[in-house]
Structure 1
Amino acid sequence: MTDKRSATVWTFVVTSITAFMVALDNLVVTTALPQIRDDLGAGLEGLEWVVNAYTLPFAVLLLTGAALGDRLGRRAVFATGLGVFTLGSLGAALAPSIEALIAARAMQGVGAALVLPLSLTLLSAAVPPERRGAALGVWGAMSGLAVAVGPLVGGAITEGASWQWIFWLNVPIGLVTVPLALRRLTESRGPAGRLDLPGVAIISAGLLGVTLGLVRGESHGWTSPAVLTSLLAGAAGVGAFIAWERRVARRGGSPMLPMALFRRRGFAAVNAVSLLFSVGMFGSIFLLAQALQNVFDYSPLEAGIRTLPWTAMPLLIAPIAGPLSDRIGGRPLIVAGMAIEAVSLAWLATILDTGADYAGLVPPFVLAGVGMALFFVPVASVALGSVPAEQEGLASGTNNAMRELGGVLGVAVLASVFAANGGYGSPGAFVDGTRPALWVGAAVLLTAAAVATLLPSPTRTAAPARTAASATPAAPATPAAAATPAAPRALPVVGRPSSV
């Protein structure tokens, strides 16, 4: 085996393993939430932060992680991110309190934001152009597989050992892959533009304020000074971020997110749909994953198995939806997917009851999985097709960040609806809270379907690399910039299923 071929193989192995691990930690915790609540004495607010502490820094730092790789070296930043993720996993496994667990999950999110986009770029640079589509397709399939088996793995580990082992699992993998990355991956850099660190700080503070207000609203009162101050400060922070980014662009700088992109109808619409999709779907998953244990009294493993009709369905539908997207464009699939998602949640809201039989939940679970596939398969190509070729990397990172942010808002909003109408006191109380939350999720997804009709038509894949990328629900779209043997500019991944 030549040195070049050996380097390619090692790059594929390391980046695929890390992509699987980072994606797995999005959903692996869902079936462990009831046990975490019991062991650490956490309330609903604490459980929300166990999820959101991971996804919030992931979303905010995704674009910055790619830019840091361009500037400081992708291998170095990738290995650093993997080390941070491993330390966060160790902290989560040893967490003696819910506060310590939340802090460790935030560290994991920071590491994931450095690892995931650079894993794609490193792999793209290492693989010969004629094999790049297949390699990236397998890389994406690993992420999709992690999402599909996440609740199952979490349930099996929680039942067979304890919820702490969900995080212990990452530690030996990280200890092995960090030195492998430093020794086996080829270092590369991209255009070293200025980092928009003020923009990162402003949007981080704004989103934290909004999320904090939403999470605390029901328990502290929506009109309480603390909640109102948090929401208003968060909204002001988001507004300040928009103003700052415009200012940086006017002065010829490098904004974290050029606001001019949102003047494009396709770009604005696909990001709005992505945000709404995550709000509706992943806020619902947060509650339904717990309902399988709190209402139906399934063990963690049994609950994980029973999520498979939902989470595994995209892997089965993607081979059909991918070629269909090439023929008719992405807009019809996304509109149909959002409408199907809305129907599935409305169906679940109608039939969910303490006396319901699991067999009755399977059809809406399957529908939900079909709808997810119809969204995940074409969204990468639609997002990239909405901007010029030189801005595809930025478009991909923005779309992925919007889905992560949607997950944060979805958990916060739907959990607030849940808390206002029910609680953890009994199975009946849990159902009373979950039903209206699912109706809200269905309404959000119906709105997403309406917004998706604004996508330009046709929104077809334009290059073989994109077609290959759409073959799996998690496959990243590969821009033309990444199709040369030289190291491409860091490309934050698009098409990976967003997290809970």
Structure 2
Amino acid sequence: MSSRAGRGTLFAAVVASGMVFLDATVVNVALPHIGTELSASTAGLQWTLNGYLLTLAAFVLLGGALGDRVGRRRVFLAGVLAFTAASILCGAALNIEWLIAARFLQGLGGALLTPGSLALLQSSFHPDERGRVIGAWSGLAGVSTALGPFVGGWLIDALSWRAIFFLNVPLAVVVILAALRWTPESRSDGGAAARFDVAGSLLGALGLAGVTYALIEAQQFGPGSVQVIGAAALGVAAAVAFVLLERHRGERAMLPPTLFASRLFGVLNVYTVLVYAALTGFTFFFAVYLQNVVGYSALETGLASLPLTILLLLGSARSGALASRIGPRPQLTVGPLVAATGLVLLHWVSRGDSYWLRVLPGIVLFGLGMTLVVAPLTASVLAAAPDRLAGAASGFNNAASRVGGLLAVSALPLAVGLSGGGYARSGQLTPAYRQAVLYSAGLMVLGALLAGVLVHRPEREPRKSRPCPTLPPPPTHQHEPDQDADRTAAGEHRW
């Protein structure tokens, strides 16, 4: 951290992650504007979010393994280039189909970029500095997330929704120059190739795509149509094939089956799907409702949810520390109940209501609930997995959160009867929003029940005592200075 190269590497990782976080927070805000300009249906808006979530969830594990195998900086830069090129395509979209295709490509870029930013920090810094570096990354990335609603909302109102995608171009130039100048290349010496599982990733993507298509297009074709039933059957078959393939490959799989030897690990990932489905489903409806019914501008909509981000930024570390003392169950149980209470309050928001009296209390309660959940959930997932599979466990949990959001955005509009251009009409959107918020609150309550009954403090693997490696005795005769330097460097590398 005291070196120019260290600061430059951290800077590249933070700005790259900020690109992804910025898009994640402002695309929801831009949905009404996208729908109006591109004459999109509700299904088109769903695919605008889900195209990105689908490819990101399906290929994020593969992206991490690819970086280990061919070079973390190389894959990280490839992800930045792909994400930026897709962003340009998004900003230049002439119709909703073009935008959806570009969002699929953007998800692929994100799948390379997202695991790459942390992998670069993990591999580039000395172990004694990694905690400090990752803490700095979390804090700075959190600031970029907090700025996202303000910057994005201002750009949408002042210029166009296209500006939120074009903003990634100058940021990407800065990231690429910094990474080429300061970030060292690294790769894994062994084991990466064993988890380079292209077939597993493709089957996972096909399974998610089939189920997503069936849920979204059921609004247009009907639940009993050939298209919907065929897509659902294909998705289920691909998901089953994915499970069978991973079991067959055993420890060589992208997702080693031994991860699920811990019942707690499986429970926590089901919990992740429920909570993040509630979070993503609510934010999808909330941004559109505030603009098309309550009458907020894009900037006001972005700022309305800012307390949620600030609470997560300021409280997550303290929440994680509390969970380490008392165990995760209390927070994983109480947190969703607090968030559900906030959602019930937001259920009643309507045009003309005061933000401070009607919107802010619900957002604060929802933010407090999520703050209680996020850090203990991440720590518990990692603690429930063997240390040697920490990377795979983290990647799978990240994918589980994306899948929860993907399913929520796909299923909730169908469940509440919102289709076609109904999102632009107050009479149709208002009852749909109110139902969707209650469904999201119900998912939070289910998560609380699951945690209260099945979650316990993870039991760490006992540490095996290992003998301290025997260092070679000091030389008793003189060597040439160059030989001494070579041997010292080689010894440090082995150590």
Structure 2 length as normaliser, TM-score? 0.88
Cα displacement (A) at 1:167: 0.6
148-157 vs 118-127, which deviates more?
Answer: 148-157
The residue that corresponds to 1:480 in the other structure is none
Q: Distance in 2 between matches of 1:319 and 1:243?
A: 38
Q: 1:172-183 alignment to 2 at 5 Å?
A: 172-183=170-181
The residue that corresponds to 1:148 in the other structure is 146
Q: Distance in 1 between matches of 2:41 and 2:261?
A: 42
Contact 1:328 / 1:460 at 8 angstroms: preserved in 2? no
Contact 1:322 / 1:378 at 8 angstroms: preserved in 2? yes
1:49 aligns with 2:50: no
Secondary structure, counterpart of 2:417 in structure 1: helix
The residue that corresponds to 1:233 in the other structure is 234
| AA matched with 1:440 | Y
Q: Distance in 2 between matches of 1:365 and 1:175?
A: 36
Aligned pair partner of 1:341 in 339, 346, 352: 339
Q: 1:283-432 alignment to 2 at 5 Å?
A: 283-349=281-347, 351-354=348-351, 356-358=353-355, 359-420=357-418, 423-432=422-431
335-344 vs 56-65, which deviates more?
Answer: 335-344
Cα displacement (A) at 1:148: 3.2
The residue that corresponds to 1:193 in the other structure is 193
Contact 1:329 / 1:461 at 8 angstroms: preserved in 2? no
Contact 1:69 / 1:78 at 8 angstroms: preserved in 2? yes
The residue that corresponds to 2:436 in the other structure is 437
Q: Distance in 2 between matches of 1:411 and 1:272?
A: 17
Secondary structure, counterpart of 1:312 in structure 2: helix
261-270 vs 75-84, which deviates more?
Answer: 261-270
CA displacement 1:137-194 (0-9 Å, x = unmatched): 1212233334333333221110011110101100111123224323321111112323
The residue that corresponds to 2:11 in the other structure is 13
| AA matched with 1:449 | A
Question: Are residues 320 and 389 of structure 1, via their aligned partners in 2, closer, same or farther at CA, if it must alter by over 3 Å?
Answer: closer
Question: Are residues 52 and 396 of structure 1, via their aligned partners in 2, closer, same or farther at CA, if it must alter by over 3 Å?
Answer: same
Q: 1:98-113 alignment to 2 at 5 Å?
A: 98-113=96-111
137-146 vs 23-32, which deviates more?
Answer: 137-146
Contact 1:36 / 1:42 at 8 angstroms: preserved in 2? yes
Secondary structure, counterpart of 2:294 in structure 1: coil
Secondary structure, counterpart of 2:283 in structure 1: helix
Q: Distance in 1 between matches of 2:176 and 2:185?
A: 14
CA displacement 1:411-446 (0-9 Å, x = unmatched): 111122233499235323211111111111111111
CA displacement 1:281-308 (0-9 Å, x = unmatched): 1111100011110111111111111111
Q: Which has the larger radius of gyration?
A: 2
Q: Distance in 2 between matches of 1:322 and 1:43?
A: 41
Question: Are residues 214 and 459 of structure 1, via their aligned partners in 2, closer, same or farther at CA, if it must alter by over 3 Å?
Answer: same
Question: Are residues 409 and 148 of structure 1, via their aligned partners in 2, closer, same or farther at CA, if it must alter by over 3 Å?
Answer: farther
1:282 aligns with 2:280: yes
CA displacement 1:358-401 (0-9 Å, x = unmatched): 33121111111111111112122101100111011111111011
CA displacement 1:166-224 (0-9 Å, x = unmatched): 01100111123224323321111112323211111111111100001111112221111
Aligned pair partner of 2:182 in 170, 181, 184: 184
Q: Distance in 2 between matches of 1:486 and 1:40?
A: 57
| AA matched with 1:352 | V
Q: Distance in 1 between matches of 2:405 and 2:142?
A: 17
The residue that corresponds to 2:470 in the other structure is none
Question: Are residues 10 and 439 of structure 1, via their aligned partners in 2, closer, same or farther at CA, if it must alter by over 3 Å?
Answer: same
Contact 1:381 / 1:461 at 8 angstroms: preserved in 2? no
Contact 1:334 / 1:374 at 8 angstroms: preserved in 2? yes
279-288 vs 217-226, which deviates more?
Answer: 217-226
Cα displacement (A) at 1:95: 1.0
Q: 1:209-288 alignment to 2 at 5 Å?
A: 209-249=210-250, 254-288=252-286
Contact 1:382 / 1:461 at 8 angstroms: preserved in 2? no
Name the structure, 1 or 2, with higher relative contact order (CA <8 Å, separation 6+).
Answer: 1
Contact 1:149 / 1:311 at 8 angstroms: preserved in 2? no
The residue that corresponds to 2:477 in the other structure is none
CA displacement 1:457-487 (0-9 Å, x = unmatched): 324999xxxxxxxxxxxxxxxxxxxxxx989
Cα displacement (A) at 1:13: 0.8
* Equivalences, count: 460
| Superposition CA RMSD, Å | 2.3
Cα displacement (A) at 1:240: 1.3
The residue that corresponds to 2:161 in the other structure is 163
Secondary structure, counterpart of 1:453 in structure 2: helix
Q: Distance in 2 between matches of 1:461 and 1:307?
A: 37
Q: Distance in 2 between matches of 1:420 and 1:230?
A: 21
Cα displacement (A) at 1:354: 4.2
The residue that corresponds to 1:476 in the other structure is none
Unaligned runs of 5+ in 1: 463-484, 488-500
Question: Are residues 6 and 271 of structure 1, via their aligned partners in 2, closer, same or farther at CA, if it must alter by over 3 Å?
Answer: same
| AA matched with 1:110 | L
Q: Distance in 2 between matches of 1:70 and 1:124?
A: 12
Q: Distance in 1 between matches of 2:94 and 2:186?
A: 40
The residue that corresponds to 2:74 in the other structure is 76
CA displacement 1:305-354 (0-9 Å, x = unmatched): 111133322123224323312221222111111121222223322x1344
Q: Distance in 2 between matches of 1:445 and 1:133?
A: 32
Secondary structure, counterpart of 2:296 in structure 1: coil
Unaligned runs of 5+ in 2: 462-491
Cα displacement (A) at 1:451: 1.5
Identity %: 37
The residue that corresponds to 1:466 in the other structure is none
Q: Distance in 1 between matches of 2:104 and 2:304?
A: 29
Cα displacement (A) at 1:119: 1.0
Q: Distance in 2 between matches of 1:180 and 1:314?
A: 29
